[in-house]
Amino acid sequence: MIDGVTTYGSQDLINEIIYTEPVFICTIGTTDTSTIEGISGAGATPELTVYTPAADVELMVLGEVRCMEQMAQTIVGEAVAPTPAVITKAALELANIPFVIVDAGCKVKPEIECMRLGSEYGRDIRTGKGVLNPLEIYENAKELGEKLGVLHDSLVIGESIAAGTTTALGVLKALGYDADGKVS
């Protein structure tokens, strides 16, 4: 166990990875779904959500945001908070964990080097064609995961995708899963 850290559920995974050398994979992407009013809190306005993934990884890598005037904000109701990328950056630095930025399809490209899984950003999920190139992204992600898996003991995957939760819910429901109230 790690002093000061409380875990819930099975300890098996924690015991298995506690002394490993992980790499953090931050996958970024945008969808037109995020620009629908009220769908995403990952930006001060729906229009700014397309900048959030690029701004998040610029903050993580450069310590500053270049693609927009200020760091992304998270808006829930009337509450405003800085992007969770601030916490991600601090955690990675404190734990000295290396990380890789992977672009799965961004409308606004960050001003940093990153691996690209696909060339198209996500469209509006209501059209039924939210992801134009899913096989390309899947195959490239699988190949990248296999390569990184050889180099590192464990892979920790995170994301910065405005409306990603909404998109995940839509995909799960389209696949026939009872996902209502189970994705957040």
- Mean pLDDT over all residues of the chain? 90
Tens digits of residue pLDDT in 106-115: 999 999 999 9
- Sequence spans of domains, the chain: 20-174
What's the pLDDT score for residue 124?
A: 92
For range 9-29, the mean pLDDT = 85
The pTM score is 0.86
Domain 20-174 has CATH 1.20.120.1200: no
Q: What angle do CA 103, 106, 111 make, to 5 degrees?
A: 75
CA dihedral 141, 146, 151, 152 (to 10 degrees): 80
Closest CA to 169 of 158, 157, 179, 156: 179
Tens digits of residue pLDDT in 48-69: 999 999 999 999 999 999 999 9
What's the pLDDT score for residue 174?
A: 82
The C-alpha atoms of residue 101 and residue 93 are separated, in whole angstroms, by: 15
What's the pLDDT score for residue 17?
A: 77
**Two tokens, residue 72:** 């992304």
Cβ atoms within 10 A of the Cβ of 73, count? 17
Which of the pair, 119 or 66, is modelled with greater confidence?
A: 66
